[in-house]
Structure 1
Amino acid sequence: MPHRPAARHWDIFCTVIDNYGDIGVTWRLARQLQREFGQRVRLWVDDLASFARLCPGLDPECDVQERQGITLQRWPKTFPDGIAAADVVIEAFGCQLPDAYLAAMAARPVKPVWLNLEYLSAEDWVEGCHGLPSPHPRLPLTKHFFFPGFTERTGGLICEADLLVERARWQADAAAQAAYWKGLGVPPQAEGELRVSLFSYATPAAGELLRAWTAGNQPVRVLVPEGKVLGDVAAVLGDETLQAGDVRQKGHLAVHVLPFTDQPGYDKLLWSCDFNIVRGEDSFVRAQWAARPFLWHIYQQEEDAHLVKLDAFLSHYGATLSAPARHALVAAFHAWNRGQGMAAAWAALTPQLAELQRHAQGWPKQALGSAGLASRLVQMVENTLQ
């Protein structure tokens, strides 16, 4: 940006979904707006107890508190009157603003910039919808749609200014990685060992792949943060009591169950593994910044609408791959998301991992484009208020 933007007050409203993706995105965005652009941010959250898993030190019983420069405020079911509306208002992922807050927005002499932060998609229609206005039917307010995406005509992707440099420095620092693994109780990487992080929704594909690794010839060490896929892991190992801190070995497969971590801790896990399996939206983007090959477990939608979204991403991500690598990658993504055929898909993918690793190294700068999401968001606000 040509100059530092004016410091404005932002209100971000978010409802916590059980998979943490929504709050993960808004928490990351709030911190970036404050740290890099000097904005004053208040994050309204309806479920502080769940949010606390991503934000160590957060007190779920406290209605208003400050963490990492952000004001965190409980979003109560009955929204109070008398709350002043901010200069910029973001309703994240279609959550509905309270009537009392809308009235406060309408009462301002200078109306707030009101944005609906949408879910990320690589589909072509996103470019035509990004920035479109939606006037309120009764109040003198206009909401605009902000679509994250993979092209210059979208809202871009969330990426902190120094993240790619920090990641490259970490991946070049063998001592830092060794200390990291030691802190998690994970032994040094053996010769020929594949190290994989597994953070997905429950799926039969997980069990199929783990059984293939168990019976395979290559040692595979899988790091599993606590989450929905742990039941599939437990079924393969024959141990329904799996919990954080447990380590199990079966054939050529070693499994370490990790505690749920904060966002910087999860970044380090992605950066330190050879291959990552991720889910949802926030983890999906972070896996791309990790510059490692990955599989994405997309959130399932009715009538297989999620598979259209999946293919739209793969058309971008795989555009410059060789035909064998592209076909193997698409097949593996589909096998994981359809819950079948994963063992065969992995066997076909394995010979392509070297090319996929080279591709993953160059992808972040291509995906980021001219600016990240926060920068494009701030610029849209500046243009609107000029």
Structure 2
Amino acid sequence: MAMASRPDWDIFCKVIDNLGDIGVCWRLARQLAGEHGLRVRLWVDDLESFSLLCPQLDPLRSLQRVLGIEVCRWATLFPAACPARVVLETFACRLPVSFVERMAQQSPSPAWINLDYLSAEDWVSSWHALPSPHPQLPLIKYFFFPGFSADTGGLLREQDLLARRAHVAANTELQIGVWDEVGFAPPPVGTLLISLFAYENPAIGDLLHAWESSDTPICCVVPLSRTLAAIEAFAGNRLGAGDSVCRGALDIRILPFLEQSRYDQLLWLCDLNFVRGEDSFVRAQWAARPLVWHIYPQENAAHRVKLDAFLALYCADLPTTSSAVLREFWQAWNLGRITIEHWRNFAQSIDRQRTHAQRWAERLARQDDLCTRLLCFSRSLL
């Protein structure tokens, strides 16, 4: 494999659950290259899944340049590549041994950073930026934790993200264009528009039945994902992109898989966004709309601690009643047990939640974004 000249950044990503980790890495790589003019090399083990997020990518090519970024297949037989000045190991993916050995041969050695998972837990700020010396080699790896406060790594946010959101919100033609691209007409005025992106969840069918009997018309837009089987069970037939199901007050629309910029626009248009994992969770917060998070399930219910930590932070400024309703619905959704009463209580609070979501996004936007903090930290190590 012929490599280009030594890049400024190497980013390593192992694709887990098809979308989550590579979604974060791809956004970060584009921001480093596009906003800061850095030469970025992105190592990915599963180019097939990656190509869903990036239609310009050819999953059969082991080396290619996409949107100014050098994309390389991370194969078992790793090439003799010269490490970049900054090496980013994402989500504890463990770099190839041969590559780490070459890092140790560099003088000065690269800044080695592990970008960890997002969490609102109290310990994150204490562990953020801590060093971890290599047991045999003269290298130090530093842990970088994304977070919601000034003493963490922050959240991914492009410089023009909020301006783009405001532009779409103020432009009816652009909104119609979003619908045209996914193959549907805009829903009628007065419809509650909901996006549904989640892991497998036994509560999906119950939620759809609750929406079917709603007093308010509901349009549920579903990008192709792991929710499809439950929706097909509700509909009683196979479904694909472009199909719709109308039952009672509910209009379900199956969308094609959306690349990241299109998915962002969908979140901006919706009144309520069901999201999952980390990437869509963060983007839903920047959408400044009410949201429901399906956190990635972990063994021994470890994810419940992370869910509770975020809820404590997010609900801190909500009135007691609204906070209780939101907590109850999120917990029920993550337990897979939704009732009609859960939905009715939650739906009645959506207007208050929208005001809160806008204030929350404004507060987060006053902090430096993750890319800016990561650049400052890496420069302090060089």
TM-score by length of 2: 0.96
Deviations 1:251-283 (A, max 9, x none): 111111011111001001111111110001000
> What does residue 110 of structure 1 align with?
108
* 1:248 aligned onto 2:239: no
Question: 184, 209, 224: which is aligned to 2:222?
Answer: 224
Deviations 1:157-194 (A, max 9, x none): 00001101110121121221123223333333324311
> What does residue 213 of structure 1 align with?
211
Pairs within 5 Å for 1:74-223: 74-80=73-79, 82-223=80-221
Aligned residues: 377
RMSD after superposition: 1.3
**Separation in structure 2 between the aligned mates of residue 285 and residue 342 of structure 1, nearest angstrom:** 27
* 1:50 aligned onto 2:49: yes
Which 10-residue stretch deviates more, 203-212 or 361-370?
361-370
State the Cα distance separating 1:8 from its structure 2 match. Answer: 6.6
**Separation in structure 2 between the aligned mates of residue 173 and residue 199 of structure 1, nearest angstrom:** 25
Deviations 1:1-50 (A, max 9, x none): xxxxxx97100000111241000000000000111112110000011111
Helix, strand or coil for the counterpart of 1:159?
coil
* 1:36 aligned onto 2:32: no
Letter of the 2:119 partner, please give it: S
Letter of the 2:25 partner, please give it: T
Q: Percent identity?
A: 49
* 1:305 aligned onto 2:302: yes
State the Cα distance separating 1:288 from its structure 2 match. Answer: 0.4
Letter of the 1:123 partner, please give it: E
Which 10-residue stretch deviates more, 375-384 or 335-344?
335-344
Contact 1:321–1:359 (CA under 8 A) maintained in structure 2:
yes
Letter of the 1:291 partner, please give it: A
**Separation in structure 2 between the aligned mates of residue 342 and residue 313 of structure 1, nearest angstrom:** 23
Contact 1:58–1:67 (CA under 8 A) maintained in structure 2:
yes
> What does residue 364 of structure 2 align with?
367
> What does residue 3 of structure 1 align with?
none
Contact 2:12–2:93 (CA under 8 A) maintained in structure 1:
yes
Deviations 1:42-75 (A, max 9, x none): 0000111111111112111111101111100011
Letter of the 2:24 partner, please give it: V
> What does residue 350 of structure 2 align with?
353
**Separation in structure 2 between the aligned mates of residue 172 and residue 361 of structure 1, nearest angstrom:** 16
Deviations 1:56-109 (A, max 9, x none): 1211111110111110001111112x3101100011100011111011100001
Unaligned regions of 5+ residues in structure 1, if any? 1-6
**Separation in structure 1 between the aligned mates of residue 182 and residue 325 of structure 2, nearest angstrom:** 32
> What does residue 58 of structure 2 align with?
59
**Separation in structure 2 between the aligned mates of residue 126 and residue 237 of structure 1, nearest angstrom:** 43
Contact 1:275–1:292 (CA under 8 A) maintained in structure 2:
yes
**Separation in structure 2 between the aligned mates of residue 12 and residue 51 of structure 1, nearest angstrom:** 14
**Separation in structure 2 between the aligned mates of residue 31 and residue 163 of structure 1, nearest angstrom:** 13
TM-score by length of 1: 0.95
**Separation in structure 2 between the aligned mates of residue 79 and residue 19 of structure 1, nearest angstrom:** 22
Letter of the 2:81 partner, please give it: I
Which 10-residue stretch deviates more, 181-190 or 134-143?
181-190
Contact 2:18–2:49 (CA under 8 A) maintained in structure 1:
no
Contact 1:181–1:187 (CA under 8 A) maintained in structure 2:
yes
**Separation in structure 2 between the aligned mates of residue 63 and residue 185 of structure 1, nearest angstrom:** 33
Helix, strand or coil for the counterpart of 1:53?
helix
Alignment CA distance shift 1:360-1:300 (3 Å): same
State the Cα distance separating 1:342 from its structure 2 match. Answer: 4.1
Unaligned regions of 5+ residues in structure 2, if any? 1-5
Contact 1:196–1:220 (CA under 8 A) maintained in structure 2:
yes
